[in-house]
Amino acid sequence: MKTCYEAAFNELVNLMESSRDRNVQLTETYEKSIGDILSLGDSRFASYSSVVETNKLRAAKVIEDLAVSLFDMKKNKSFSLYPIDPHYRMLDPAEQKRSRPFQIVLDENGKKIGVVFCSFKDIDYYYRHLISGDYAIDSLRLVLLSDPDKFAYEILIKSVNDLNQKDNVPIERWTIREFWKKYFGKEEFERLIAHINAFNERAKEIIGFNTVVVPTAAALKKFRSTTGELLRSFSYKENIPGSVFERQVEIFYKNYIGRGLWRAMVGEANFAISFITSEWNYKMYQMTENLDLTNVVTGYLKSIEQLTWTIISLQDQKRFKIRSKPRGLVEFSLENESIIDSTLGSLEEVIKHNSWMLVVNSYAKEYLVEAIKQWREKYRNGYFHKENLQSIQKAQDIRKQAIQLFFLILGGSAIKDQDFTKLGII
């Protein structure tokens, strides 16, 4: 069946390529001709929606055709094609197929069960036709092109099926996984999913454009809220080595999560704005290895340096040395900021030699300083100066390490409650 899968999806990809530009042109012409006064999305949005929905329907038909082929190949005796209206018997098979509301009928327990491959939004359409008596079957099996998690399955499929059975409604919902594994086996399902995933990637390349969410004040407020949920639930502990005692890990958590210092990263300070900018770009835009991704991660790279400077600045009432731009060391103060070397390497040295700035023990401090050093050497210096970043995996690593460092720096530093405002916490 491998060749059959490949042939079916290759044909669909070719159809998408040939029809895309025509679809965009027709959409733009239609938009202009009707003069829609409630044009909430531009013509690209309308074109994108049209191309996506059209090809989802085509893909559902491809999957239905594959199911027909598998039933034929396995010589399943319960399977038959939906009966043709006598008026269409003289048409060729392709035209006959178009005249059917769906192709597959299964004879099980003395009942004719129609099988439809569809999405959740198509359910009402088939339901209306069934109860109107438009189908020559006893019941309808809706095979949903979804693979929901356990919670969604209980709500959207099992509970609905139970209710339909109780009320004698002749409709049942199945997932594509349930249907394919029952009738064709686990290996065939894995083969189908592999080809669907490959088709999805090729389809995205062909469609070639995305909708863009504009960062309005309301959109950013919601985005900061969801980003805060990420920061509170991130798996920080699993990234910390065993050399850092459990009690020290608890101190990081108590400060960052318990005291709410994570809020600094979604607040109003410059380091938070840098982080949110990169996080927005990371979440909203499709990354590709054909382009330089440095613009996506720039905010992550800047934010660590900005955050570290801010943390050190909170200690301006105490005396300590820091590198100066002319060379040598100077007394730290905000008044002589113009001559201070505020690069990450300089800031790293301040933390290393002034352990009173931290609230964790020497082992945890060494781990924190080493984490900053590795960040500087592996990510910050290279991508801010000489290298392009074209690896999606590296971009993901930079994001993950930045989020981990926020936790370590804010969770491990000596920060008073009165410093929250200086950290941009509202």
DSSP string, 161-198: HHHHHHTT--EEEEEHHHHHHHHH-HHHHHHHHHHHHH
- Model pLDDT, residue 317: 79
Rounded CA-CA distance 366/351 in Å is 10
Cβ proximity of 414 and 256 under 8 Å? no
Q: How confident is the model at residue 393 (pLDDT cuts 50, 70, 90)?
A: confident
- Model pLDDT, residue 86: 78
Which residues have a Cβ under 8 Å from the Cβ of 119 and sit 6 or more positions away?
A: 56, 60, 144, 145, 146
The mean pLDDT of 372-390, rounded to a whole number, is 70
33-42, 146-155, 367-376, 417-426: the lowest-pLDDT one: 33-42
Nearest Cα to Cα of residue 208 among 12, 13, 45, 48: 48
- Domain spans, the chain: 2-207, 217-419
Q: How confident is the model at residue 79 (pLDDT cuts 50, 70, 90)?
A: very high
Tell me which amino acid residue 355 is: S
The mean pLDDT of 256-264, rounded to a whole number, is 95
The contacts found for 79-87 with CB under 8 angstroms, 24 or more apart, are 79/104, 79/105, 79/106, 79/107, 80/105, 80/106, 80/107, 81/105, 82/114, 82/136, 82/137, 83/136
DSSP state of 30: H
- Model pLDDT, residue 32: 63
The mean pLDDT of 70-96, rounded to a whole number, is 86
The contacts found for 191-198 with CB under 8 angstroms, 24 or more apart, are 191/1, 191/2, 191/5, 192/5, 192/63, 192/66, 195/5, 195/6, 195/9, 196/9, 196/59, 196/63, 198/9
pLDDT in tens, 287-344: 566 566 777 888 999 999 999 999 999 987 788 888 888 778 888 887 878 888 888 8
Q: How confident is the model at residue 275 (pLDDT cuts 50, 70, 90)?
A: very high
- Model pLDDT, residue 87: 77
Rounded CA-CA distance 168/96 in Å is 32
Which residues have a Cβ under 8 Å from the Cβ of 418 and sit 6 or more positions away?
A: none
Is the predicted pLDDT of residue 214 greater than 70, yes or no? no
| Distance of alpha carbon 45 from the chain centroid | 19
CA-to-CA separations, 105 to 118, 141, 328, in angstroms, rounded: 15, 10, 84
Cβ proximity of 303 and 267 under 8 Å? no
Q: How confident is the model at residue 284 (pLDDT cuts 50, 70, 90)?
A: confident
Mean pLDDT over each residue of the chain, to the nearest integer: 85
Predicted structure pTM score: 0.54
Is the predicted pLDDT of residue 424 greater than 80, yes or no? yes
- Model pLDDT, residue 37: 59
The mean pLDDT of 396-400, rounded to a whole number, is 90
pLDDT in tens, 326-337: 778 888 887 878
Cβ proximity of 2 and 191 under 8 Å? yes
Cβ-in-10-Å burial (0-12, 13-18, 19+) of 400 comes to middle
- Model pLDDT, residue 188: 93
Rounded CA-CA distance 216/206 in Å is 29
pLDDT in tens, 88-146: 777 777 788 888 999 999 999 999 999 999 998 899 999 999 999 999 999 999 999 99
Tell me which amino acid residue 125 is: Y
Q: How confident is the model at residue 345 (pLDDT cuts 50, 70, 90)?
A: confident
Take residue 40 and report the two structure tokens written for it: 């909430």
Is the predicted pLDDT of residue 197 greater than 50, yes or no? yes
Is the predicted pLDDT of residue 202 greater than 50, yes or no? yes
Tell me which amino acid residue 106 is: L
Which residues have a Cβ under 8 Å from the Cβ of 388 and sit 6 or more positions away?
A: 292, 294
Rounded CA-CA distance 104/418 in Å is 70
More confident residue, 262 or 150: 262
The mean pLDDT of 15-44, rounded to a whole number, is 63
Rounded CA-CA distance 261/310 in Å is 13
Distance in Å from the first CA to the final CA of the chain: 60
Length of the chain: 426
Q: How confident is the model at residue 383 (pLDDT cuts 50, 70, 90)?
A: low
By percentage, how much of the chain surpasses pLDDT 70? 86
Is the predicted pLDDT of residue 248 greater than 50, yes or no? yes
- Model pLDDT, residue 331: 84
The mean pLDDT of 65-94, rounded to a whole number, is 88
The mean pLDDT of 139-164, rounded to a whole number, is 92
Is the predicted pLDDT of residue 261 greater than 90, yes or no? yes
Is the predicted pLDDT of residue 385 greater than 50, yes or no? no
By percentage, how much of the chain surpasses pLDDT 90? 48
